[in-house]
């Protein structure tokens, strides 16, 4: 669930994006990306305090999803196929 929320926020920031290279657009995207990480960590810490076993399972699922996304992105990038 955290990974999906992180991806949803990432898509939102991609949509907002930096269409014109301005300082304001860069600042909004940078602040949003930092906030995304902070929010995920706060939720993960809250879960760890209430149920350590659930927190461990959540961390493992998050790490697996992140690793699969990274591997898939690298395959697409170095595969030479355009991403639409």
pTM over 0.75: no
Instruction: Render pLDDT for 32-73 as a digit per residue (tens, 0 to 9).
Output: 778 877 888 888 889 889 999 988 888 898 889 889 989 998
- Give whichever of 17-26, 33-42, 55-64, 75-84 has the largest mean pLDDT: 55-64
CA distances (Å), 52 to each of 44, 49, 73, 78, in order? 10, 6, 31, 39
15 contact partners, CB below 8 Å, separation of at least 6: none
């Amino acid at each position: 669930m955290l990974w999906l929320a992180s991806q949803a926020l990432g898509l939102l920031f991609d949509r907002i994006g930096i269409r014109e290279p301005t300082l304001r657009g860069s600042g909004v995207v940078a602040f949003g990306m930092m906030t995304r990480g902070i929010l995920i960590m706060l939720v993960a810490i809250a879960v760890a305090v209430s149920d350590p076993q659930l927190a461990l399972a959540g961390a493992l699922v998050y790490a697996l999803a992140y690793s699969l996304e990274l591997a898939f992105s690298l395959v697409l990038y170095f595969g030479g196929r355009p991403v639409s």
